[in-house]
Amino acid sequence: MLPHAARTWSRAARSLVCHAAPRPAAPTAMPATSVLASRCFAAAAAKKPKMEDGTLEGRYATALFMASMDKLDKVYADLQGLREMMASSQEFKLAIETPGIEPESKVAAFEAVCTKAGIDGSVLNFLKVLVENKRAHLLSRMIDIFENFYRAEKNLVLCKVTSAAALSDAQKSQVKAAMQKRAEGSQLIMEYNTNPALLGGLVVKMGEAVLDNSVSTRLERLQTQLLAPVA
């Protein structure tokens, strides 16, 4: 969380949203500043992400990723900070998504919060491009995609464990050790959740694989077998 930056943004965002007014439709051509910013991304390109995303949001996230290879950890951390601010500040979210706010005012607010939070210049440049191209409302999705790129680059795999009741620390360690053997050298990011409807057992999702050993699923399988016609 970035408390000082969040307060700075909240003040700026409150003023921006309150004074937002409809504007005439802008020309569809990309502004010159956006062209220059895009060239900066291309010039810094060193390596494409290990995974592809051909969506509009994916193309923007790819451009930022390629421009950030020499400071990938820093850019990733800054994007996570922005995500936290979006989740904790409704004013921040509104200011990003409100189309009637003048681009110059949005850029000024981004500059203020990024300076206060020590956010990398390439991230600020990226945010300016989004504002100028009227894509700022897609920022959250772009951060999600960048996170996927980052995890693939760092060989990180998300492992979601769902149990009927909260697991103890010892149980979590046992689950992690068991799943690490299946990870084939990848580093696991463990996430634990509870769902009483499982009744017991575990449901583990690691990457695209799902291991369901919950009591509820076992009961469903047993019921299916019992109701099946006798051969």
Query: What integer pLDDT is reported at residue 112 of this predicted model?
Result: 87
Write the DSSP assignment of 39-94 as a string of letters: HHHHHH-----SS---SHHHHHHHHHHHH-GGGHHHHHHHHHHHHHHHHH-HHHHH
Query: What integer pLDDT is reported at residue 102 of this predicted model?
Result: 85
Query: What integer pLDDT is reported at residue 101 of this predicted model?
Result: 82
Query: What integer pLDDT is reported at residue 36 of this predicted model?
Result: 38
Neighbours of 154 (CB within 10 A): 15
Query: What integer pLDDT is reported at residue 4 of this predicted model?
Result: 54
Query: Interhelix angle for 121-132 vs 72-88, to 10°?
Result: 50
Structural contact between residues 33 and 111, judged by C-beta atoms closer than 8 angstroms: no
Ordered by start, the domain boundaries in the chain are: 3-22+29-153, 156-227
- Cα 164 from Cα 201, distance rounded (Å): 7
Query: What integer pLDDT is reported at residue 29 of this predicted model?
Result: 41
Write the DSSP assignment of 125-159 as a string of letters: HHHHHHHHTT-GGGHHHHHHHHHHHHHHHTTEEEE
Lookup: tokens for 216: 């509820």
Query: What integer pLDDT is reported at residue 231 of this predicted model?
Result: 61
Task: Report the largest interatomic distance among the alpha carbons of the chain, rounded to a whole angstrom.
Answer: 74
Query: What integer pLDDT is reported at residue 229 of this predicted model?
Result: 80
Query: What integer pLDDT is reported at residue 106 of this predicted model?
Result: 85
Whole-model pTM?
A: 0.72
Structural contact between residues 203 and 211, judged by C-beta atoms closer than 8 angstroms: yes
Query: What integer pLDDT is reported at residue 24 of this predicted model?
Result: 43
**Tens-digit pLDDT profile for the chain (231 aa)?**
445 555 555 555 555 545 444 444 444 444 433 443 454 554 444 588 989 999 999 999 999 999 998 899 999 999 999 999 888 888 878 888 777 788 888 888 888 888 888 999 999 999 999 999 999 999 999 999 999 999 999 999 999 999 999 999 999 999 999 999 988 888 999 999 999 999 999 999 998 889 999 998 988 888 887 787 866
> What burial letters (b/e) apply to 72-99, b meaning 16+ CB within 10 Å?
beebbebbbbbeebbeebebbbebbeee
Query: What integer pLDDT is reported at residue 44 of this predicted model?
Result: 47
Query: What integer pLDDT is reported at residue 7 of this predicted model?
Result: 56
